[in-house]
């Protein structure tokens, strides 16, 4: 019997479905998926994000480092745990969506509750 991983708030973002024969693509990038997982739970473990996004833990660490370097995330270390804060007022990066803020993406996918929990303006 297959065990299903349980994550706080996993109704919005669940582990990727098994490949049903269709091409494995999505409308959002892994960077967006990682950011959305963090928006849902600012203290989430990278291991849990990796399972939910469907990538390796090392890939999540690289994405988080890139998001921090780009100013989209701030990390606060407390003991052995990290807590992340999203800089929600920054624009999305691609020229097509550059007029939209990160907060718009989070609100669209996760709703207003996640937006209120994790946002701050630089």
Convert the pLDDT of each residue in 4-22 to its tens digit. 444 444 445 555 656 666 7
CATH class of 30-120: mainly alpha
Domain range list for the chain = 30-120
pTM above 0.75, yes or no: yes
pLDDT at 25: 85
Which residues have CB under 8 Å from 39's CB, separation 6+? 86, 106, 110, 114, 115, 117, 118
The string of pLDDT tens digits covering residues 58-115 is 999 999 999 999 999 999 999 999 999 999 999 999 999 999 999 999 999 998 766 5
């Amino acid at each position: 019997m297959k065990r299903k991983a349980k994550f706080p708030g996993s109704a919005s973002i669940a582990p990727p479905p098994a490949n049903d024969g269709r091409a494995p693509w999505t409308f959002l990038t892994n960077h967006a998926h990682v950011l959305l997982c963090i928006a849902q739970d600012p203290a989430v473990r990278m291991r849990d994000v990796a399972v939910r996004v469907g990538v390796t833990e090392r890939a999540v660490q690289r994405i988080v480092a890139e998001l921090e370097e780009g100013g989209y995330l701030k990390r606060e270390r407390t003991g052995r745990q990290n807590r992340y804060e999203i800089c929600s007022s920054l624009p999305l990066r691609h020229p097509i969506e550059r007029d939209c803020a990160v907060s718009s993406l989070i609100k669209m996918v996760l709703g207003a509750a996640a937006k209120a929990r994790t946002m701050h303006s630089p």
